[in-house]
Every structure is written in C-alpha cells, then in structure tokens.
Structure 1
Amino acid sequence: MIQEISFHEHRDTIARIRREVFTTGLLHEIDEFDEHAHHFALFNPAREITGVIRVLRSDEVPKLELQSESDATDLVFPQDGLIIEVSRGCALKNLTGMPMIQLAMAMQKYAKEQKAAHVVTKTGRKLLPLYQSMGFRVFGRPFYSDWFDDRRTGLMSIPIIYDFVKTARVSSTAATQPLQKDEEEEVLVW
C-alpha cells in the first residue's frame, strides 16, 4: 500500500531509508526541497515503511530541484500547466513485489489526479531506455547533479519529461546530444 505521509512525522524514517539505499552518491539524506514536498511511503503488510518517494509541484515551490541544478541551467521547462517533479524514490533492498514499479505507478496516478501537464525527473544512462519505453523523453543534456556525488562517480544525470499534454517540444540539442559511455553501476532511481 502506498499513501501520502507527513514529512515532519516521518523525517527520520525517510532519511534512514535514503541512507540505506543510496549508499554511494546521495550527498544529503534531507535537503531544502523536502520541507515543501509531498512525501509518499510504501508500506509492507505489517504497516512498516519500506520505500519512500517525493513530489514537488510547480504551483507550490518557486523552483523545482531540476531547475536548481547548477550544471543544468539551460533546461527549458514547459510553460503550460502543472509540472510534477518526482525524486528521491527508493525502497529497501531485497523486497518482493517490485516496489519501485509500485511507487512509479502511484506517482503516475497522483499526477493524473492532480491534472498535471508534465512529470519531470532525472535518471542515469542505464535506466533511460526503461523510462523511454514508458513515454518519457530527454529534454536536456546530461549534467552532474548538485545533490548526488556525480562528479566523483562520473555518473551523469539525464533530465527526462513525460508530457500528459502531447506536444512537440523536443529541442534539437536535447534530441541529438550523445550520452557518454560509462561502465559503472548507477544508483539513480525515482
């Protein structure tokens, strides 16, 4: 079961799960966006939180996390409708039932219920084909994230968008930018 939770009541649990999952790469378990985000939790049958994910809404925050990335200042965001940014999705290891798919489906449902026009997030090179198969497209060049230790790991974040309102907004730069080859394992997930 997935439901929205209070950040203030579950701050320690959210930080603990992020710390356990993002063992290399996440620079801060809690950041300046958490206070303003909607947080959702995946519960097991014993009602223990086993996964978390957060949502930022363009109508509630002055800037989304992706708009605050210092190496991604050239990103062009749609100007029409609500933009939902999904980030910090993680679930404890060794869970059954594909928890990340469950969280992703819950976020799609939330975005539809909120009448979002767009959903944005970032991914790594290895997960990009999965997101593209679900209808996401790249909308900017890969960049080093300020919230992950990308510069040390050499893994770049790729900004992706899903348009509920179908329009042709693919910039020629984003569409033709080649991705750099990287052999290391990625930890970036929703």
Structure 2
Amino acid sequence: MVSGRAYVVCVYCSASTADPAHIALAARVGTEIARRGWQLVSGGGHVSMMGAVATAARAGGAQTIGVIPKHLVHKEVADVDADELVVTDTMRQRKQVMEDRADAFLTLPGGIGTLEEFFESWTGGYLGQHDKPVVVLDSDGFYDGLFRWLDELYDRKFVSQFARDRISVTTDLRSAFVALQPDDTATTREEI
C-alpha cells in the first residue's frame, strides 16, 4: 500500500509475440502482482504478453487498469475485462496516463514500443521527473545486446553512473519484485 491505496505496477511488454515462454513469464508476473495485493497498469491490449499479464493479475484478484490509444483498440484487442479501461487519443497520452498511475515500472521482453516506454520511464527518473523504481526482468538474456550497448555508452561517457543506477536489471522474478517493492513493504511480504 502507498498512502492508503494499493501499490500500482506498470508493466511494459510485447503485444505481438506468440512465444509461449514469454507469455508464461508475463502470466507469472501478473500472478505475482495479484499475490502481493498490488494493482496493474498496462497498455490495455488483450493479446500476447500484454493480455497474459492482465488476465493473470485479474485471476489472482488484482485490479487492472488498461490504457490504450483509439487507433489500437482493434489491433491490440482492447482489454474490455479491465477494471478500468482508459482510451486515449494518442500514444503520448497513453504513456503519460500509465506513468501518472504507476508507482513502479517493470519491463519484460518486447519490441520497439516496449523499448520506447522503458527508455521514457528511465529518462524521466534520471531527469528527476519521478523517483519510481524502473526494473527490467531479463530472465533469458533477451536484453543482453541492449545492455552491452548501454555499457559501451557508459564506457564512452555518454551515460553516467547516476543514470545507470536508475535502472535495476534482474534475471529472475523474485529479484524483479524485490526491486519493485516500495520501502514500506520490503520486510512485510513473503519471498517468492
């Protein structure tokens, strides 16, 4: 809980992959969000990983908030089962609503949309626009190439240590949720 309300995790992930391992990962994330009594805010689609995380969260009793731009309502099959479905005019509005509603950000495997969301939440934290946790769950090396490149940018002094420290990169579900959890629940929640 944060100030008397449920803690809200924004999950960024693919709305296009059919890879069963990644869909199962998204479902495990949704289940864990529910187990902790948290809420989910997601991209509002009911397909692929995006749909799996929301469906699993709801199945476990979590409240879900889907945020989807009008032009993706049919393409991403809007999650009409969400407890709250917010339809925006633009992608920029979608990201702003998701950021405003979230207490923390978790990035799972995804494509360019997921990467854009991750970079925007990371940059916002780096620039002091928010102090929310920014976590990447990279259980199968999906993002290895990205983080090698970011390490190179660090080595070449394009990325500071402070910026790097704004992200937690984890390789397992337990570590991801430890990095996500608010300070006031760090010692009260069971280990995964």
Q: Please give the TM-score of this superposition, normalised by the length of structure 2.
A: 0.30
Q: Please give the TM-score of this superposition, normalised by the length of structure 1.
A: 0.30
Structure number with the bigger relative contact order (C-alpha 8 A, sep ≥ 6) is 1
Q: Higher helix proportion, which one?
A: 2
